[in-house]
Amino acid sequence: MHPVIRLVNRNLTISLNKGFLIWQVIFPLIYIFVAGFAYSGMIGFNIMNSTLISGIIIWNDRRHGMFEQILVGPFTRVHYILSNVYTIGIVGLISAALITAVGYPLFFKSVEFNFYTIPLVVFASVSGSILFGSIASIISTRLQSSEGFNVVINTVFLFFAFVSTAFYPAEGTPEPLSTAFYLNPLTYLVDVVRAGIFGNFSTFVGIEMIVLIALALILFTIATKLLSKLEL
């Protein structure tokens, strides 16, 4: 078996447990019942939220000496980095699929699946997972204490979650909050998912997709460089 596949299998075995499924399905289901507008936003929110796994895996590997043990075995830093990329991509797709399956029976009358739906949701899942997974990875490589890691990563992701269009639209919100929405990559992710779910693709959504790709590439490059220089 290829080393990267072995590491991905190990990451998924660690990540996909009962606690993960409860967090990824039950928690968003509450919001789906409370706020119908947030249904499609929950897909983007969960994609972002699931990428915390990447940072947590790296942090735990460093904390418990697993990172060193992996590199002593038949694995390289490249294998480790690629396995994390594939893991967050797979988890992001699983998360999007779960929320779509749970929410569709509730909002099937308002959704408008079309030619763009699946490609847009897959695009959002992959690009969003790489983007936010890179952020989680960067945080995990820069902090030394578990308290600092938990405080920073939860604060950053809470900001992303609530200063975005995931739960309410930007239209009508006061300045500077409405401007802050569009400084937040989660807003672009949510808008792309909504365009796929509700069939309202536009030129602006296309621009948001370009922004997502650019941010994902930049942050992934930074995360990769930090991981490649991580001290044993």
DSSP letter, residue 174: P
Q: What is the mean pLDDT of residues 62-82?
A: 84
For the chain, the distance separating the N- and C-terminal CA atoms, rounded to the nearest angstrom, is: 26
Q: What is the pLDDT of residue 208?
A: 92
Q: What is the mean pLDDT of residues 60-69?
A: 83
How many domains, in total, are found in the chain? Answer: 1
Q: What is the pLDDT of residue 180?
A: 85
- Long-range CB pairs of 178-185 (<8 Å, 24+ gap) are 184/159, 184/160, 185/128, 185/131, 185/132, 185/160, 185/211, 185/212, 185/215
**Residues 6+ positions from 204 with CB-CB distance below 8 Å:** 191
Find, among 118, 84, 80, 95, the residue nearest to 46 by Cα.
95
User: Comparing 46 with 139, which gets the higher pLDDT?
Assistant: 139
Find, among 226, 60, 222, the residue nearest to 70 by Cα.
60
Which domain covers residue 61, as residue numbers? 3-228
Residue 31 has pLDDT above 60, yes or no: no
Q: pLDDT (tens digit, 9 = 90+) per residue, 142-179?
A: 887 777 888 888 888 888 878 887 777 777 777 787 88
Q: Which residue has the tokens 């409370």?
A: 34
Q: pLDDT (tens digit, 9 = 90+) per residue, 189-224?
A: 888 888 877 777 889 889 999 999 999 999 989 988
Residue 116 has pLDDT above 70, yes or no: yes
Residue 229 has pLDDT above 60, yes or no: yes
Enter the pTM of the model. 0.80
Integer Cα distance of 191 and 132 in angstroms? 16
